[in-house]
Amino acid sequence: MTRTAFIAAAALLASVQAHAVTVTLTAGPSTAVAGANVETFESYAAGSNLNGGKVYAWNSPGAALTGDNIYLISGISAQPKHGAALVKDQWFSVAGGGDATFSFASAQSYVGFLWGSVDTYNRVTFYNGSSVLGSYVGGTGGLPNVPTGNGHQGTAQYFNFFADAITSVRFQSGGNAFEIDNLASVTAVPEPESYALLLAGLGAMAFVARRRRSDDLR
Ligand SMILES: [Ca+2]
Ligand SMILES: [Ca+2]
């Protein structure tokens, strides 16, 4: 491949892949995106270790009901609030200093989750392979409609993140805790314009290669 063709191919690849993450919020408790796969964390034993975090249940040791209609394991984790009604279920929690990653079998065009008690020490990062697509910190004003500060256990916001190809999502927390439920995702299907761009790029490269060959013959 010539240097020019290589640069053209690299630029083309970048234009296809480097699309930013779009963030939206909807009312909880679960995804409103059609066709999403949803992990509710109900199939795990309470206290299970999972991908760097833990699955807690409403009846975990030390759990007590609070005035926000959630179960609180004092100083450790709070169940994400599902709405006005009391819900007895399980959730996923990343403890202080914790680092949890969910890797997908194939690229996803969407990832969403119910984020309970959004904290300034919670960080969520979306990857395509080792490339960071987007990284967000809770409670700092960087996300729409999220109260700033820590410990807003009474909020029930569902977060939606859209990107072309998310291969993993990472949850990190500097303190107790980063709590989520109803982790949803949708498998990515390449968009028609991506195919069109790729075909146009391949056509351009073939044209350059052919012209170079005919130049050589002259
Ligand atoms: Ca659940
Ligand atoms: Ca929290």
Distances (CA, A) of 152 to 70, 101, 155, 177, 200: 12, 24, 6, 12, 50
**pLDDT per residue as tens digits for the range 94-149:** 999 999 999 999 999 999 999 999 999 999 999 999 999 999 999 887 787 777 88
**pLDDT per residue as tens digits for the range 175-189:** 999 999 999 999 998
Tell me how many domains the chain contains: 1
- Nearest listed ligand to the Cα of residue 28: 1
For the chain, the average pLDDT equals: 87
Structural domain contains residue 211:
no
Higher pLDDT, 159 or 205: 159
Which residues place a Cβ less than 5 A from the ion ligand 2? 117, 119
Span from the CA of 42 to the centroid of ligand 1 (angstroms):
5
Host domain of residue 120: 20-190
Structural domain contains residue 212:
no
Strands 22-27 and 37-39: unpaired
Span from the CA of 204 to the centroid of ligand 1 (angstroms):
51
d(CA 121, CA 129): 24
Residue 28, pLDDT score: 84
Residue 142, pLDDT score: 75
- Nearest listed ligand to the Cα of residue 120: 2
**pLDDT per residue as tens digits for the range 4-36:** 555 555 555 444 445 689 999 998 899 999 999
CATH of the domain at 109: 2.60.120
Higher pLDDT, 3 or 124: 124
Residue 15, pLDDT score: 47
Structural domain contains residue 15:
no
pLDDT of 82 above 90: yes
Span from the CA of 119 to the centroid of ligand 2 (angstroms):
5
Span from the CA of 207 to the centroid of ligand 1 (angstroms):
55
Residue 198 binned pLDDT confidence (cut-offs 50, 70, 90) = low
